[in-house]
Structure 1
C-alpha cells in the first residue's frame, strides 16, 4: 500500500475530527486540553508500536539463530554420509572375496546337522521299534520324545534342502529323505490312535488312572507348541515341515464331543412301543448328563489345563448333542402326551434344579450357548400339541352330544332317567364329563408353562362354545321332533329341565376354570370368556321357552275360549288353566333356583301375552255394568282398570298407561274398548289422540312392556 496515500487519508481524518471539535468559539478555550490528550494518545501509540517492533525483532533473532544451527547440522550430516559412502565402496569386493568362506560355513552347518542327527539317521530302525514298544507299554511320554527327535532330524534335513535347492536335486532329494523317514509316519499314526482311544474313554479313564489323561494332554500341548513354531518358521523361510500343523487340540475336542454324543445316543430305548418310553428315555438322559457333569467338575477339571475351561466346554458339548438328539426325536413324530413330556422336560427339567441348575454343578446359565430348541421349533411343538387337544375335544364332545341325544329318545323309566346322584335337580353327566376332560388337559399343560396353559384354556373355551352351539341346535331339533310326534316322547319336559340345568352348570364350571387358570394380569381375549357365558345363557333362555311352550300346548284351546259367550257361562275355564299349568309346573321343582326364576318369568310373560291377546280379540261386547274382569297378572289388572274407567277421566288413565307401557299401540287400546259397547269408536279414538299428545317421557318401563310388541292382529278393527 502507498505510504503517501495513507498519510493523506490520516490528514483528512484529522481535519474532520478538528472541525467537529471546534465548531463554536467557546471550544477554542479547551485547545490546550485537547492538545494534551492528543500528545498522551500519541505517546501511548508510540510505546505500543515500539513494543510490537521489539517483539518481532526478538523472534527474528531466534529464527536466524536456529537456521544457523540447522545449517551446521546439515553440513555435518552431509560429511558423515560422504564418509559412509567411502567406507562402503570396497564392500562388494570383500563380499566376492568371502564367497569361498560362505560355502565352507554352509558345509560346516550341514555337516553339523548331519552329525547332530547321525545317531537317529544310522539307528532309525532300532529307534522305531523302541518307540513302538513304548506305545504298546503305554509309556506315551517316552514314545513322544522319540517321535519328536526323529521328526526334528527329518525336518532339519528337509530344511537344509529347502534353503539351497540349487546345490541339491530339489524334489528328488526331498522325496528320498521322506521315504527314508517314512516309518516316522507309522509311529505318529500309532501314537495318534492311542491318544484317540484314551480321549474317547476319558470319563472312564479319569476315574481309574487320571495320570494317563494328564500325560495325553501334555503330549497334545507339546504338539500345539511345535505347530506354532513351525508356522512362525514358515513366515520367515517359507518351509513347513510335513504334517504340520497337526492341530491335535482340535482333534481332542472333536473326540470328546463324539464321546458325549455316544453317551447320549447309547442311552436311548430301542422299544418305542412302550407307553412311557419317552419319559424313561429323558430320565435316563438326565441322570447320565448330571452324573457325567459331576464327574467332569470334580475329576476332569484338575487334569486339564486351565485354558481348556473343560467343564464349560463339556456343558456346550452336552447341550449341542442333546439338542441334536431332541431334534431327531421331534422329526420321528410324537404322539399324544409325548408332546407334554418333551416340552416340560425342555422348559422345566433341563434348566431346573434337577439338571443344569443342580446345586452340585453351579452352572452359570450365561455360559450355555442358545436354547435346546429354537423358538420357532418350540412354537411348532406347542401348536401341534394344541391341535391334538382340539381333536380330542372335538371327538369327545361329539360323543357326549350323541349320548345326550340317545338318552332323549330312549324309552327308559322316569326313575332311571337321571342315574347320577345330583340331588333334587335334574342334570346329566355332560357338564361334569366336559369339565373333567378340560381340567385334566389344563393340569397337564400347567406342568409345562403358564403361556401354554392359557392357550389351552382359550382353546377349551372355543371348543366349549362350539359344543354349546351344537347343543342348542340339537335341542331345537329335539323340540321339533317332539312337536311332530307329541305323545311319542313321554319325558320331554324332564329332558329340557336337565338341558336348562346343564347350561347353568356349564356357566358355573366355566367360571371355575377361569378362576383356576386365567392369569390375573391377562386382559386380552376376555371377550372370548364373555361370549362363552353369553352362549350358554342364550341356550338356557331358549330351552326355558321350549319348556314353557310345551306346558302351554294343552291350554291353548282354553285361551281360545276366553272372552266368549261360553266363557261367560262356564267360569271354570280359568280354573282349568290354573290346574293344567299347576300339573305341568310340578316338575319345575327340579330346576335350579336361578333357572326356576327364569322359567317363571317366561311363563308369566307368556300367560299374560295369551290372556291379553284373548282380551283384545273382540270376541265379546258388553255394557259397563255387565263386565267382570278376571285378572291373573298385574298387567291385566292395569288393563282392567282402564276398561272400567269413567269416560270423563279416560284421558288421564290412558296417559298413565302409555307412560308405563310405551309399546302399547292405538290398535291395542281400540280392541280393548271393543268390549265396551256403550262407548262409540270415534270417542275412543279422540281420547287416545288426546292422551298421546299429553304423554311425556315414560314414567317407568315395566318388565312386561315388550309383550305388546309380540301381540299382533291381521284383521282390521272397525
Structure 2
C-alpha cells in the first residue's frame, strides 16, 4: 500500500471517502430491508441462528473474493509501475547515447573533405583493377573473332557463342565506363573508337543470327535428320533471352544498356516458325484451275497429309527438342490452324475474287467437306496425335461459309432451272415422234424421264448431305420448289398434247 501514497490528490481522496460512506449507508439500508422481510412472521425467529450462520458464511466468501480482487489489482499496478520505471531508464540511456553520437559526428564531419582524395583514388583503383581483369579479353578480341569464325564454319555454335559473349562483355564494360564518364564529360569520339574496335563483333552476331534463323526455319528437316542442331539453336536463343533480361534490369538501375540489346531472338524464333508453317501450307499448291480441274481437291488433300505428317514429328520429336515453357505442340496447332484459316478465307472470300473467278460447285463441295472433316479422325482428330482441338475457332467464319454454301445452292438451282425444261421438252418430242414407244420386259410403256429426274435429285442431295445438315435442308426446299415447277410444266404439256390429239380426231 506504500506505493499508492502520494499518487492521488486530497480532493480525490475526499470524493472517494464520501463515496464509501454512501455505499456503507446504502448497504446498511438494504440489510435492514432484507432482515425485515425474513423476520416478518413470529415463527421466523426460530431460524435466526441459521440466518446468522448463512449471513456469516456469505460475508466470509465475499470478503475473500474482495481481498483476492484487490490483491490482483495491486500486483498489476506494481508490475506496471516497474515497467514504466524501466522504460524511463531506457529513454534516458537512449537520450544520453544519441547526445554522445551527435558529439562524435560533429568531430567526424570535417574528415569528409579530407577523405575526398582518398575516395577518388579508391574509385580509380577499382576502375584500373576492372580494366586489368578485362585487358586480356580486350587484347584477345581479334584472336577470338577468328576463332569464332572458324567455329561457326564448323557449325560448333555453342563454343562460338561463348567466344562472342566474351567479346561482348569486354565491349560492354568499356561502353559502361564511358557511360559513367559521360555523365560528367561527353566523349563521343571515345564511344566511336570502341565501336570501331569491336566492329567484327557485330558481324559475328549477324552471322550467328543467320545460322540460327536457318535452323529454326528448317525445323521440320532438323527434327527428322539432326535434332541436335535444332536443340543447339534453341539453347542459344534461351541464353540470349537471359542476357536480354539481365541488361533490361541493369538499365533500370544504371540507365545503361548496350546498343544491340534486347535482341529478342525468342520472338524472332516464333515468327520464323509461323512463317515456315504458312509456307508449308501455301507452298504445296502446285496447280491452278487452268492447269487441272481438281486442283483444289489435290491441294487440300496435300494440306491434310502435310498436317498429319508434321504433327507426327511435332508430338514425337519437337516436343523433346523445344523447352517446356514454349508449349510447342499447342503453339504449332495454333499456327497451322490460323494459317490454314487465312489461306482458305483468301480462296473463299467473294470480296477477293473477280466476277469471272468465282468458285465452281465442285470446288465449293471440296472446301465444305474439308472443313467438315478437318477436326475428324483423318486429320487433327487422329487419336494417336492427342491434340487438344477443343479451343480452336471455326476454320471458316460463318459469313464466309454461308457465302460458299450460297454458291453451291445457286449453282444447283440454276442447274435444275436448265434441266427441267430440257427434260420436259425431250419427253414431249418423244410423244410426237413417229416411232414405237419403248416397252419394259413386262410389256409396259417406259420412259427415262423419271429416272433422270430422280438421279438429279439424289446426286444433289448426296452432295448437300456431305456438306452439312443445314445445307441439306436448304437444298431440299429448293428441290421441292423446282419439282412443283416441273409438275406444273409437265401437266401443261399433257393438256396441250390432249387438246391437239382430240382436235385431230375431230
Q: Same fold (TM over 0.5)?
A: yes
Match of 2:481 in 1: 466
The structure 2 residue matched to 1:365, chosen from 363, 381, 388, is 388
1:11 to 1:294, Cα distance in 2 relative to 1, 3 A: same
| Paired residues for 1:62-461 under 5 Å | 62-119=79-136, 121-122=138-139, 128-129=145-146, 131-165=148-182, 168-273=185-290, 274-331=292-349, 332=353, 334-348=359-373, 350-358=374-382, 362-365=385-388, 370-371=392-393, 373=395, 377-378=397-398, 380-382=400-402, 384-385=404-405, 388-389=408-409, 391-393=411-413, 395-396=415-416, 399-400=419-420, 403-404=423-424, 407=427, 411-412=431-432, 419=438, 421=440, 432-448=451-467, 452-453=468-469, 455-461=470-476
Tell me the TM-score normalized by structure 2.
0.78
Q: Find the residue that maps to 1:157 and give its secondary structure.
A: helix
Whether 1:60 aligns to 2:82 is no
Say if 2:234 and 2:322, in contact at 8 Å, map to a contact too.
yes
- For residues 604-639 of structure 1, the C-alpha deviation after alignment (integer angstroms, 9 at most, x for no partner) is xxxxxxxxxxxxxxxxxxxxxxxxxxxxxxxxxxxx
Kept after mapping to 1: 8 A contact 2:222/2:230 = yes
Partner of 1:505: none
Pair 416,220 (structure 1): closer, same or farther in 2 beyond 3 Å = same
Whether the 8 Å CA contact 1:210–1:303 is kept in 2: the answer is yes
Distance 1:385 1:344 in 2: 11
Structure 2 counterpart SS, 1:286: helix
Using the TM superposition, give the Cα deviation of residue 106 of structure 1 relative to its aligned residue in structure 2, in angstroms.
2.4
Deviation readout 1:424-453 (Å, 9 max, x if unpaired): 8888666654543343334334445xxx22
* TM-aligned CA deviation for residue 391 of structure 1: 5.0
* Structure-1 residue corresponding to 2:502: 487
Q: Distance in 2 between matches of 1:406 and 1:235?
A: 88
CA distance in 2, matches of 1:318, 1:279: 19
Separation of aligned partners in 2, 1:146 and 1:224: 17
Pairs aligned (count): 480
How far does residue 156 in structure 1 lie from its aligned partner after superposition? Answer: 0.6
What is the CA–CA distance in structure 1 between the aligned matches of 2:172 and 2:153, rounded to whole Å? 26
Q: Which residue of 1 aligns with 2:13?
A: none
Quote the Cα distance in structure 2 between the aligned partners of 1:193 and 1:272.
38
Indicate the structure (1 or 2) with the bigger Cα radius of gyration. Answer: 1
User: What do you get for the CA RMSD once the two structures are aligned?
Assistant: 4.0
**Distance in 2, Cα, partners of 1:420 & 1:134:** 89
Change (3 A) 1:84 1:189: same
Q: Per-residue displacement from partner, 1:651-710 (whole Å, max 9, x unpaired)? A: xxxxxxxxxxxxxxxxxxxxxxxxxxxxxxxxxxxxxxxxxxxxxxxxxxxxxxxxxxxx
Task: Check whether the contact 1:394–1:463 (CA below 8 A) recurs between aligned residues.
Answer: no
1:392 shift after superposition: 1.5
Alignment CA distance shift 1:18-1:334 (3 Å): farther
Alpha-carbon shift at residue 267 of structure 1 (Å): 0.9
Q: Deviations over 1:329-367 (max 9, x none)?
A: 22255331323322332332x33333334455x33315x
Structure 2 unaligned blocks of 5 or more: 1-15
Distance in 2 (CA, whole Å) between partners of 1:475 and 1:285 is 48
Q: Is the Cα–Cα contact under 8 Å of residues 345 and 400 in structure 2 kept in the other structure?
A: no
Distance verdict in 2 for CA 1:356–1:104, change over 3 Å: same
Query: TM-score, normalised to structure 1's length?
Result: 0.57
User: Is the Cα contact below 8 Å between 2:220 and 2:310 reproduced in 1?
Assistant: yes
Structure 1's unaligned 5+ residue stretches are: 491-718
**Deviation readout 1:57-95 (Å, 9 max, x if unpaired):** 333333334334444444444454445445544443343
State the shift of 1:487 in Å.
1.9
> Structure with the greater relative contact order (CA < 8 A, sep ≥ 6): 1 or 2?
2
Q: Please report how far the alpha carbon of residue 152 of structure 1 lies from its aligned counterpart in structure 2 after TM superposition.
A: 1.6
Query: Does the CA-based 8 Å contact 2:172-2:258 persist in structure 1?
Result: yes
Distance 1:427 1:4, change over 3 A: farther
Q: Is the Cα contact below 8 Å between 2:337 and 2:395 reproduced in 1? A: no
Q: Aligned to 1:487, what secondary structure does the other structure show?
A: helix
Between the aligned partners of 2:473 and 2:279, the Cα distance in structure 1 is 42
CA contact (8 A) 2:465 2:471 kept: no
Aligned to 1:580: none
What is the match of residue 62 of structure 2?
45
Tell me if the contact between 2:457 and 2:479 (Cα under 8 Å) persists in the aligned partners: no
Contact 1:438 / 1:460 at 8 angstroms: preserved in 2? Answer: no
